[in-house]
Amino acid sequence: MAVLPIMIYPEPVLRVECRPVEAFDAKLRRLVDDMIETMHAAPGVGLAASQVGVEQRVCVVDLSVGEDPKALHVLVNPVIREPRGSAADVEGCLSLPDITDKVTRPFEIEVEAQDVEGNRFVLQAEDWLARAICHEVDHLNGVLFVDHLRGLRRERARRQLRRLERQEALA
Ligand code: NI
């Protein structure tokens, strides 16, 4: 296993619509293992493949950050269904350092996905788990949490994104 470099905004891969996974092979298992290790090392509660430069529909979520093996969810080709309710809470993203803001998301979702071997399953999630999954599935569609902000919050996020663009230009 290896800790992979995390792509930071404005890296173009963060805006890509990732492709469905078709091959459930050793390469995929290796990617998932590396993504779990990278998420835990960051530390973070979720990571999408595009954040490590891989344009495939794979994400990992672990609200326990490695403390509880049952809290680890590997989602291949995830599809969110049945969003219910709504809740606003503060989010951040490993690809948007130093930016946090309140995002409104469904309180409860159902997600249909495949595991690393290709077996289909349905996961019911609510509250923070639903939020984390929605955030990661957004990444697979090239969407960042700041895209959900409106009004003054959106203006502030735009300024912060421009700062990241300048830092990238200097790097
Ligand atoms: Ni993120």
- Give strand pairing partners of 120: 114
What span, in angstroms and rounded, lies between the C-alpha atoms of 46 and 40?
9
The predicted model scores a pTM of 0.97
Q: Measuring CA to CA, which residue among 75, 57, 45, 61 is closest to residue 18? A: 57
How far away, in angstroms, is 66 Cα from ligand 1 center?
18
Catalytic residue among 136, 155, 165, 168: 136
Active site residue 37: no
How far away, in angstroms, is 50 Cα from ligand 1 center?
10
pLDDT in tens, the chain (171 residues): 899 999 999 999 999 999 999 999 999 999 999 999 999 999 999 999 999 999 999 999 999 999 999 999 999 999 999 999 999 999 999 999 999 999 999 999 999 999 999 999 999 999 999 999 999 999 999 999 999 999 999 999 999 999 999 998 887
Domains along the chain with CATH numbers: 12-170 (3.90.45.10)
- Give strand pairing partners of 88: 104
Lookup: tokens for 50 = 């595009």
The phi-psi region of residue 118 (left if phi > 0; otherwise alpha if psi is between -120 and 50; otherwise beta) is left
How far away, in angstroms, is 45 Cα from ligand 1 center?
9
